[in-house]
Amino acid sequence: MKVIQLHIDEIRLIKKASMEDRAAQKALYEKYSPKMLSVCRMYIKDIHFAEDVLLKAFFKMFKNLKNFRNEGSFEGWVRRIVVCEAIDFIRSQKRRGFTEEFTDRNTPVSDDIYSTNEEIEEVQQYIDELPNGYRTVLILFAVEGYKHSEIAEMLNISEGSSRSQLSKARQIVKEKWGQTKKKEQWN
C-alpha cells in the first residue's frame, strides 16, 4: 500500500511543480539532483561544469514539466534530459575528441573487473582520463544502454566511429587497470 501512496505523492508533486510551485520544484530537485549529478559526472570530468550542466538540465526539466505524461518513470525522463544536456555541453567544447576512423578491435572489458569502492574510484579515474569522445561513447553504451545507431545519431558520428570509440575506450581502461594490478603485485 505504501508503494502506491508514494507513487501518488510523486504524481501530485510533479503536478504542483508543473504549475510553478517553488516548494514542489525544490522537493523534486532535492530528490533527484544527487543521482543526476552522478550522471553528469560520468560524462563531464570537471565537477563545476557537471554542476552547471545539472542546473541547466533541471531548468529545462521544470520548463517542460507540463510535457511529462506519466508514461514511464519520471526519473528516466529526467535522466534523459540530463544526458542530452551533458552531450550538448561536450559538443560545445572546442576539443571534441571524436575521430572518424574505424578499427575492428573487439577487446571487451569484463563487467566484474572491480569490487571495492577503491577499485570503483580507480576505474572512474581511468574513465575520466579518456578523451571526451571515448568517454561519452563508453558511458552511453555501457552505462546508459544505448545502441551504436542511437549513439551515432546523438553525437553526429558514424556507427563505425561509435564502435571504434567504444573499443578504444575499453582497451585503454583495460590496459590502465592491468598496469595498476602489475604494480600492486610488485609492492
Q: What's the CA gap between 169 and 102, in Å, rounded?
A: 13
What residue ranges of the chain have pLDDT lower than 50? 1-6, 95-114
Separation between Cα atoms, residue 70 and residue 73, nearest integer Å: 7
Q: What is the CB neighbour count within 10 angstroms for residue 182? A: 9
Instruction: Provide the pLDDT for residue 114.
Output: 40
State pLDDT tens for residues 6-37. 455 888 999 999 999 999 999 999 999 999 99
Q: How far apart are the first and last CA of the chain?
A: 55
pLDDT of residue 98: 46
Using the structure block, give the residue that is written with the C-alpha cell 577499485: 119
pLDDT, residue 23, reads 93
Q: Which residue, among 69, 82, 76, has the nearest Cα to 14 in the 3D structure?
A: 69
**Crossing angle of the two packed helices 74-92 and 22-43, in degrees rounded to 10:** 50
